[in-house]
Structure 1
């Protein structure tokens, strides 16, 4: 009986040991399976963020910036003097009827005999005009009781001083308002009849006073004719619209579309008649392999007078990089680099990079291999740094769907701040394109011949960043170059011949 109990006890103990051993093996197999499962790379396949854009290439290059193109007017007073003397030749005025001027019984002719002298200050001109005057005077005398009458001719000379104010009307016609300041005799008029000298000085003075207005009108007509502005402003108005090639290497063109013209009053400083015409309008910087088409110029607008013409000329300089080129550079930068996490427990490599836009943010699709395989999506705001002249990304972080996916499969990617590592690598040097464009612009502005007698001159000073724009094809970095640009027209500089 005792032996049977011992035998049963032994059998029960052996059975328990066998069960325990099987349990251990099962646990070992489970552990091994779990270990193998844990060693397998996780796979990520988050949803692709939507691709959408606020700007187009054509729309962005249509962006216009208000600017002022200066057209300086300069004319030495001596040149005005020369032109007046060339135009005012010979006979200036003629009164060929004894009955004119209330029957004054005088006929007269007036010639310029010596060069006109011009002195000017501010907007006032003083003309000193030497004149020879022929007069045929009717007379009636009774010497010794004998009545004598008839006509006698005489010649004399005067020096007349005229004051004129010059301005320009809204329709671009020069107006000159001239009046007589004074005159003096160079030689006095006299008539001799039967050996008697008959003074007619008072009569001639009355004649001159009656006809000064006609003399000043003749002067005004010649001044207006000598300073012809409208046709030269029209030429500048049309020439300003011609595209200027800023950079042949990058096919960059500058377009100017003038809309309004303002002008300062004509003033004399240092014996030079000066004014500034400001063509207000818009500048565009576009990229095009061929010369952009020019729309027909509208009619020259009416002149608007202003006390001052600003010199704020603004050009938008563009550097652009395609998504493909940026992705290729980024992929090359990541090639061969391994990123370790949690003391080397996990490792990944970036195998590929793709880029596209989502409104204001740049989307980066990064292909991974290693402890995680598949793709992840990150989004950041593109930024241009004028100091380093580099394009970089701010606030680069995982897309929401990507973040939810790696939380489930590879949370250590969040702990390792992989997005910040990517942000440091996503830097692109675009300053060379901007620098070359600025250099080309400055060379052009130093002395660019638009056509015979027309030159563009200017300087660029401040460079201020605008922003980065995303279009379906490119990443645009835009900066503004500000400076002073003059359009010099030979005819306007000297008022033509």
Structure 2
């Protein structure tokens, strides 16, 4: 039997090792950064809220405030008059045909009891004669409309009084017709009627509780994605309003809200709505479009799966020196994306690349600019597989390190659309609108996801039908 010397065995093993078809690559993994808490920076959004309210709703609210005895003055000593006024039927509020788009007309059926004192007081002797009038008719008033400090204010002017019955005066316990005396007496109480109407409309048309209640509901964080556990939180900064105006049977008010839209991953965040800090600022004009800045979230896990599919069936290299990518995993470190490629072939192991995420607006894809091997990976490749470190192979790999966020963008747009299709944040209030094409803004990295911020322009209209 032929014996193999130790030297021959060593040479044989060395030769076989040199002829091996693969090499094991041991590289250091760049550990991901911790970006907690996951609150993303966003630019302020501006939401236009043109509000329309039917005059019929103002009428209903005014009728709910003014019922039965609507005015009473029992002190005759201050101005020689006592007045009691009762509403006899529903108040009618409509556009004033003589001043369309500027004033409202109020028709008030009423009954009045007036005690009017005539006389004087001299040398401690009271010389008075008190007359009592009973009036039953319909008063017509005209009011200018304005909005001040959240409230609808009117400046009402007495226009006319049509008698349902001839005015009477009580004489010896009997009602005697006194039409010729009653008309001059109207001047004694018409200012009281005007003030009663103004006070009632101001009280019934205080928009602050309704606006704040609607805002509170809108600003409650809502879930945009179950998969990524993402929430959208709206935080109002300022509320704007133009002057009120009338058009046909509608009361129109342009309002706008400057707000921050924050996207948060994890458990449901607390609302950041503080009604005490909301101030209504008057402005001359508000744009008729909204600009919403929202976030399309792509988790690293989801993006990794997409890029793994991009590499399927592809080989990188030339001749007998080739590798295939079996799996891709990405994360973020030092404002860059780290891309880990598990390779099999002439080299087995994991190679790490890094680069800056960019967005292609035409293909709606995220890609990575200035992609290169991380320092440790490059050093190991230069020692063991220099052919794999060549720029041509790296460029081909870079072509597959991309993925589309079209679906994410559409999901973000779909989430917004939910709140623009007859959305009712409270009874009687309805929100409708439409959105234009989405525009990419910027990318921000966290420890769980890549956030693509987008802008959406559109219109919003808020109508009030049956305000309570």
TM score, norm. by length of structure 1: 0.69
C-alpha contact 2:51 2:462 (8 A) present in aligned 1? no
Q: Which digits, 9 at most, give the CA deviation of each residue in 1:58-78, with x for residues without a partner? A: 34x432342245555433223
Q: Does 1:357 align with 2:335?
A: no
* RMSD across aligned positions (CA): 4.5
C-alpha contact 2:338 2:353 (8 A) present in aligned 1? yes
Q: Does 1:347 align with 2:321?
A: yes
Q: Which digits, 9 at most, give the CA deviation of each residue in 1:439-496, with x for residues without a partner? A: 35434543455566666544433211233333334344443444445677xxx64442
Aligned equivalents of 2:317 and 2:72: distance in 1? 105
Aligned equivalents of 1:207 and 1:38: distance in 2? 121
How far off its partner does 1:261 sit?
Answer: 2.2
- Corresponding residue number in structure 2 for 1:421: 396
Pair 270,473 (structure 1): closer, same or farther in 2 beyond 3 Å: same
Pair 157,249 (structure 1): closer, same or farther in 2 beyond 3 Å: same
Q: Does 1:127 align with 2:102?
A: no
Aligned equivalents of 1:413 and 1:193: distance in 2? 117
Pair 189,436 (structure 1): closer, same or farther in 2 beyond 3 Å: closer
- Corresponding residue number in structure 1 for 2:281: 304
- Corresponding residue number in structure 1 for 2:360: 385
C-alpha contact 1:169 1:303 (8 A) present in aligned 2? no
Pair 408,486 (structure 1): closer, same or farther in 2 beyond 3 Å: same
Q: Which digits, 9 at most, give the CA deviation of each residue in 1:33-76, with x for residues without a partner? A: xx9999788979798596575x82634x4323422455554332
* Higher radius of gyration, 1 or 2: 1
Pair 387,45 (structure 1): closer, same or farther in 2 beyond 3 Å: same
C-alpha contact 1:156 1:189 (8 A) present in aligned 2? yes
SS at match of 1:362: strand
Q: Does 1:314 align with 2:288?
A: no
SS at match of 1:122: coil
Pair 335,189 (structure 1): closer, same or farther in 2 beyond 3 Å: closer
- Structure 2: state its 5+ residue gaps: 1-14, 120-127
Aligned equivalents of 2:380 and 2:59: distance in 1? 86
How far off its partner does 1:232 sit?
Answer: 1.7
C-alpha contact 1:42 1:410 (8 A) present in aligned 2? no
Q: Which digits, 9 at most, give the CA deviation of each residue in 1:142-186, with x for residues without a partner? A: xxxxxxx9776554556544332333432x344333233455777
How far off its partner does 1:256 sit?
Answer: 1.4
How far off its partner does 1:115 sit?
Answer: 5.1
Aligned equivalents of 2:257 and 2:171: distance in 1? 67
1:162 to 141, 144, 168: 141
How far off its partner does 1:229 sit?
Answer: 2.4
Aligned equivalents of 2:212 and 2:198: distance in 1? 23
Q: Does 1:75 align with 2:53?
A: yes
Aligned equivalents of 2:137 and 2:428: distance in 1? 42
C-alpha contact 1:159 1:186 (8 A) present in aligned 2? yes
Aligned equivalents of 1:451 and 1:363: distance in 2? 47
After the TM superposition, which of the residue ranges 65-74 and 35-44 deviates more from structure 2?
A: 35-44
1:56 to 22, 27, 35: 35
How far off its partner does 1:422 sit?
Answer: 0.6
Aligned equivalents of 2:305 and 2:131: distance in 1? 103
Aligned equivalents of 2:210 and 2:141: distance in 1? 28
C-alpha contact 1:359 1:470 (8 A) present in aligned 2? no
TM score, norm. by length of structure 2: 0.73
1:470 to 406, 421, 445: 445
Q: Does 1:396 align with 2:371?
A: yes
Aligned equivalents of 1:271 and 1:165: distance in 2? 15
Aligned equivalents of 1:422 and 1:208: distance in 2? 92
SS at match of 1:293: coil
Alignment of 1:66-465 (within 5 A): 66-69=44-47, 73-85=51-63, 87-93=65-71, 101=79, 109-113=84-88, 116-120=91-95, 121-134=100-113, 155-156=134-135, 160-170=139-149, 172-181=150-159, 204-288=182-266, 290-295=267-272, 297-299=274-276, 301-310=278-287, 311-322=289-300, 326-327=303-304, 330=307, 334=311, 337-341=314-318, 344=319, 347-350=321-324, 353=328, 355-366=330-341, 377-399=352-374, 417-443=392-418, 445-448=420-423, 457-465=432-440
C-alpha contact 1:73 1:493 (8 A) present in aligned 2? no
How far off its partner does 1:294 sit?
Answer: 3.2
Pair 227,107 (structure 1): closer, same or farther in 2 beyond 3 Å: closer
